[in-house]
Structure 1
Amino acid sequence: ALNGSIAGNKNGFNWNLYGTYKSAGDYKNRYDGKVLNSRFNEKNFGGYIGINKGWGYSHLIFSRFDQRLGLVEGDRDDATGKFILFAGSPLERIATNADLDARDLFVPQQRVQHNKLILDNNLAIKKSRLKINLAYQENRRQEFGNPEDPSEKELFFDLKTINYNFQWQLPEMKEWHTTIGINGMQQRNENKGVEVLIPEYSIFDIGSFVYVQRLFKKATLSGGVRFDNRSVDSKEFKEGANTKFTAFTRSFSNFSGSVGVSFEPTDALTLKANIARGFRAPALAELASNGAHEGTNRYEYGDPNLVSETSLQLDGGVEVNYEHFSIGLSAFYNRMNDFIFYRKLLSVFGGDSLVNVNGNDIPAFQFDQHNAKLAGVEGSVDIHPHPLDWLHFENTVSFVRGQFDNTIDGSDNLPLIPAARLVSELKGDFKKTGKILHNLYVKLETDKTFAQNHPFSSYDTETATPGYTLLNAGTGAEITRDKKTIFSIHLAVNNIANIAYQSHLSRLKYAAENRVTGRTGVFNTGRNFSIKLNVPLNFAKK
């Protein structure tokens, strides 16, 4: 990866330019070796020009993101267990070592181009402030999956979005700080590919809100309320004489809001509590999908009759900060009505419902919704004992549990819930270790993910996932001369023991079985080394 940036500021006129290039070959793990077509490359650049004065500021921000991703399918040869290229096509063959060592992407692959232009204004008007943000975005997502014509765009979503945000911070009144505003977007999608996964559509969002905050001597009280409306206009689409997508219009609206308090009875203790009501309109893919794309290995069916999700959440926390240690604990409970999720469809003959797409049988999924609840807890402990002020022992633990109100095909567990996790890091920070070496650090980390034994097993959608522990290490420092940093260098090794594992949230966990080893799916990244070099350059005019 290469990254560079340059910035300037003179008499309130300021600007910035940056650019990044990344290229990665196929990653490797203990069980799969090199994972075919897990490679990617990425180019992006951007910056801004603006002016900052006593009246506020105005910035014009622009960016361009261009990413190409290989899409892992995980098909294997029955006799050897090796990965197969172009499965299901006349060009199907076993991948060679040269194929695995190359960096050019094979099909299936995806290209995402995102252009963004933002006008960000913050104006001081007497004792109030007016924020005006306008943006235009273009997102072009293309998928290529035809080995006989690699340039053919099987899917091509051309999405254009206009965003607007107006906020007025009113003058302070008896220590009450009030902000009112309106924001939303206009969005339109056109299909320009050979196949169509979702219909062409337009969406208009508008929302208005009021937010207030009151500062007390030892407490802060804040709260707000907003109203949102989303209008969806989905277009009809026919394949020959058959109607693949029926036109429909929907409108979703609801209120949401929150009230929270932060209380500091002492300098070392902070207590927080919050109650919030949320609202989410169904995404277009949830309403109208009818197709498959290579990125998910699923054939998805939407449901145009879905209603909005609403939720009521309670959360609270406590933080204790002393000179030699810090402790934090937070918890939440979220009650969700009409929670939207996808589930695997079953065949009338038993087993998975499969849809044949270009010679490949892909499992079918349907979007559905039910009432559910979600609860979680997160804790942290940071020990930095005196006189060993350079030493830090940081620990964080998190746990989330999600359940439907009623059992669905034998399971009440929510899908896509991460397993409990414990991360511990022992780190030494040495501010000065010589004339040229500064800010040296050395760290050792264990990242333990517990088993997820509460999968959404309904309709064979998910399976349990065993736990695993990864060992990571890193070091870095700044090299200086005459009290100026010449460069900084950072070294890291992740998964030192080269543990073979699968994340519970990975779609590749459900890829094809390796008949030679009996293992199902593709495993995550094995041992990984990285080195990072930062070289600051100063072009200040004397």
Structure 2
Amino acid sequence: EFGDPDDPETPNAWFNLKTINYSAKLNLYTSSNWKTSIGVSGMYQTNENKAEEVLIPEYNLFDVGAFVFTQYHKDKTTFSGGIRFDNRHIDSKELIEGTDVKFDAFTKNFADVAGSAGLSYEATKALTLKLNLARGFRAPNLAELASNGAHEGTIRYEIGDHNLKAENSLQIDGGFEMSSDHVSFSAAAFYNHINNFIFYRKVLSSSGGDSTLIDPDTGALLTVFKFNQQTANLYGTELSLDIHPHPLDWLHFENTFSFTRAQFSETIDGTKNVPFIPAAQFITALKGNFLSNGRFVRNLYLGIESDYTFKHTHPFTGYNTETATSDYWLVDITAGTDIVRRNKTLFSIHLSALNIGDVAYQNHLSRLKYAAVNNVTGRQGVFNMGRNFGIKLNVPLDFKWN
């Protein structure tokens, strides 16, 4: 990535990242009811910094994991379960800029066991019940462990902590699915307890305001963030309703509602709310499919979608990290079809009109929400895209080799 448009041949940021992934799996079919798999997977990764701007250090990383998974099915009951062991080894290299140490050298090993067990029961032809229990594990990534630089994409300066521990979690979730010829409904809920949950927060100055730095390359004012850990509890639900009434089998009326809430086990600077949690959302879509066997025009569809995102009233206000986010309502329209000749698709065309109300809105998960005030509009932060139109043309190519 170049930093000077007058000198595009000189990179400003260049992470020479090389990754080798590997995996091997053996499927064991011991009986008609049992299906079992065992295997290993992982990766080897190296990073070299070949430009002046450096956000993370050079490093070597090696992941190895071994797992076994089994599934049992009989009559109306399906049981599945698995266990996996993972180990991550990281060698991070020192970097000295002038007389200052930008990155300390360190070596880390993270190892733990994850597993899950799930049960599905077909109570009736129309009703299926599900229950799952899982233990999770996640090693911190290099950005969380060792960042020390300007992250231009988020307009902030990030500081990692190589003393971070691996996250581990215990989750229970359950739900049910009901379906008939014309209506489908599903509901699910989860609760997740996470130890050593990794999150970011602002760093405050000695005066109590935001700690800021000036990017020496761009002159931009960057807010300083650092990574911390704390025990967190997350819970939420998702509801889905799909109506396709008879005799209007071509019509689909789909509705989805999702909600997630997260809190720390202890108060952090006056709040227990966890950062970077999405707001509740309700999506409704009405779609019609026509001409499935048309002579020249086939698979025509028309759709309209309503996306209402609720106001986010539980931001992580500790250290002035987050603020509440207003609700917004978006409406999208889509259409498309296949053009056919002699029973062969010549091309497909898809049209879209997104955010047709040209609503000015910000997603709570957008880090650009906290950018500086726009002098033209007088509003703080970068807003999401307004009204926009799109057209996509797909042309299938069929090559025959003699």
TM-score, structure 1 length as denominator? 0.71
Q: 1:274 is matched with which residue: 113, 132, 136?
A: 132
Q: Which residue of 1 aligns with 2:234?
A: 374
Q: Which residue of 2 aligns with 1:133?
A: none
Tell me, in whole angstroms, the C-alpha distance in 2 between the residues paired with 1:290 and 1:538. Answer: 50
- Determine whether 1:219 maps to 2:77: yes
Q: 1:317 is matched with which residue: 175, 180, 183?
A: 175
Partner-residue secondary structure (3-state), 1:509 = helix
Counterpart residue identity of residue 279, structure 1: F
What is the CA distance between 1:215 and its match in structure 2?
A: 1.0
Q: Which residue of 2 aligns with 1:246?
A: 104
Deviations 1:104-137 (A, max 9, x none): xxxxxxxxxxxxxxxxxxxxxxxxxxxxxxxxxx
Name stretches of at least 5 consecutive residues in structure 1 with no aligned partner.
Answer: 1-142
Q: Which residue of 2 aligns with 1:357?
A: 215
Partner-residue secondary structure (3-state), 1:155 = coil
Q: Which residue of 2 aligns with 1:495?
A: 355
Between 1:482-491 and 1:409-418, the stretch displaced more is 482-491
Q: Is the 8 A contact 1:478 1:487 kept in 2?
A: yes
> For 1:44-123, what aligned pairs fall within 5 Å after superposition?
none
Tell me, in whole angstroms, the C-alpha distance in 1 between the residues paired with 2:120 and 2:294. Answer: 43
- Aligned pair in 2 of structure 1 residues 205, 435: CA closer, same or farther (>3 Å)? closer
> For 1:26-37, what aligned pairs fall within 5 Å after superposition?
none
Deviations 1:429-468 (A, max 9, x none): 1135864222221111111111111111111111111011
- Determine whether 1:340 maps to 2:183: no
Counterpart residue identity of residue 43, structure 2: M
Tell me, in whole angstroms, the C-alpha distance in 2 between the residues paired with 1:436 and 1:242. Answer: 70
Identity of aligned residues (%): 58
Aligned residues: 400
Q: 1:511 is matched with which residue: 368, 371, 392?
A: 371
- Determine whether 1:443 maps to 2:327: no
Tell me, in whole angstroms, the C-alpha distance in 2 between the residues paired with 1:332 and 1:525. Answer: 32
Partner-residue secondary structure (3-state), 1:287 = helix
Partner-residue secondary structure (3-state), 2:143 = helix
Q: Which residue of 1 aligns with 2:142?
A: 284
Tell me, in whole angstroms, the C-alpha distance in 2 between the residues paired with 1:148 and 1:458. Answer: 42
Tell me, in whole angstroms, the C-alpha distance in 2 between the residues paired with 1:308 and 1:477. Answer: 49
Deviations 1:7-40 (A, max 9, x none): xxxxxxxxxxxxxxxxxxxxxxxxxxxxxxxxxx
Counterpart residue identity of residue 487, structure 1: F
What is the CA distance between 1:257 and its match in structure 2?
A: 0.2
Tell me, in whole angstroms, the C-alpha distance in 2 between the residues paired with 1:416 and 1:520. Answer: 19
What is the CA distance between 1:211 and its match in structure 2?
A: 0.9
- Aligned pair in 2 of structure 1 residues 203, 392: CA closer, same or farther (>3 Å)? same
Tell me, in whole angstroms, the C-alpha distance in 1 between the residues paired with 2:321 and 2:47. Answer: 30
Counterpart residue identity of residue 183, structure 2: F
Partner-residue secondary structure (3-state), 1:375 = strand
Tell me, in whole angstroms, the C-alpha distance in 1 between the residues paired with 2:85 and 2:398. Answer: 48
- Aligned pair in 2 of structure 1 residues 270, 479: CA closer, same or farther (>3 Å)? same
What is the CA distance between 1:539 and its match in structure 2?
A: 4.0
What is the CA distance between 1:478 and its match in structure 2?
A: 2.1
Deviations 1:363-395 (A, max 9, x none): 101110000011111111111111111111111
Deviations 1:222-241 (A, max 9, x none): 10111111111111111122
Between 1:483-492 and 1:395-404, the stretch displaced more is 483-492
- Aligned pair in 2 of structure 1 residues 430, 162: CA closer, same or farther (>3 Å)? same
Deviations 1:140-163 (A, max 9, x none): xxx333466444322211111122
Q: 2:392 is matched with which residue: 532, 536, 539?
A: 532
Q: Is the 8 A contact 1:145 1:294 kept in 2?
A: no
Deviations 1:282-334 (A, max 9, x none): 11111111111311211111111100100001011211110011001111111
- Determine whether 1:229 maps to 2:87: yes
- Determine whether 1:480 maps to 2:336: no
Q: Which residue of 2 aligns with 1:406?
A: 266
Counterpart residue identity of residue 455, structure 1: P
Q: Is the 8 A contact 1:343 1:459 kept in 2?
A: yes
Q: Which residue of 2 aligns with 1:258?
A: 116
What is the CA distance between 1:514 and its match in structure 2?
A: 2.5
What is the CA distance between 1:425 and its match in structure 2?
A: 0.8
Q: Which residue of 2 aligns with 1:457?
A: 317
Partner-residue secondary structure (3-state), 2:153 = coil
What is the CA distance between 1:281 and its match in structure 2?
A: 0.7
What is the CA distance between 1:486 and its match in structure 2?
A: 2.8
Tell me, in whole angstroms, the C-alpha distance in 1 between the residues paired with 2:9 and 2:271. Answer: 44
Deviations 1:246-297 (A, max 9, x none): 1111111111100001111222111111000000111111111111131121
Name stretches of at least 5 consecutive residues in structure 2 with no aligned partner.
Answer: none
Tell me, in whole angstroms, the C-alpha distance in 1 between the residues paired with 2:309 and 2:247. Answer: 33
Tell me, in whole angstroms, the C-alpha distance in 2 between the residues paired with 1:257 and 1:447. Answer: 35
Tell me, in whole angstroms, the C-alpha distance in 2 between the residues paired with 1:146 and 1:478. Answer: 45
Q: Is the 8 A contact 1:227 1:254 kept in 2?
A: yes
Tell me, in whole angstroms, the C-alpha distance in 2 between the residues paired with 1:185 and 1:213. Answer: 27
Tell me, in whole angstroms, the C-alpha distance in 2 between the residues paired with 1:312 and 1:399. Answer: 19
Tell me, in whole angstroms, the C-alpha distance in 2 between the residues paired with 1:341 and 1:534. Answer: 42
Deviations 1:32-66 (A, max 9, x none): xxxxxxxxxxxxxxxxxxxxxxxxxxxxxxxxxxx
- Aligned pair in 2 of structure 1 residues 219, 162: CA closer, same or farther (>3 Å)? same
Tell me, in whole angstroms, the C-alpha distance in 2 between the residues paired with 1:195 and 1:539. Answer: 46
Q: Is the 8 A contact 1:433 1:440 kept in 2?
A: no
Counterpart residue identity of residue 220, structure 1: T
Tell me, in whole angstroms, the C-alpha distance in 2 between the residues paired with 1:199 and 1:344. Answer: 22
Q: Which residue of 1 aligns with 2:41?
A: 183
Counterpart residue identity of residue 437, structure 1: V
Counterpart residue identity of residue 316, structure 1: G
- Determine whether 1:394 maps to 2:272: no
Tell me, in whole angstroms, the C-alpha distance in 1 between the residues paired with 2:242 and 2:189. Answer: 18
Counterpart residue identity of residue 303, structure 1: D
- Aligned pair in 2 of structure 1 residues 153, 324: CA closer, same or farther (>3 Å)? same
- Aligned pair in 2 of structure 1 residues 203, 536: CA closer, same or farther (>3 Å)? closer
Tell me, in whole angstroms, the C-alpha distance in 2 between the residues paired with 1:150 and 1:270. Answer: 58
Counterpart residue identity of residue 513, structure 1: V
Between 1:173-182 and 1:156-165, the stretch displaced more is 173-182
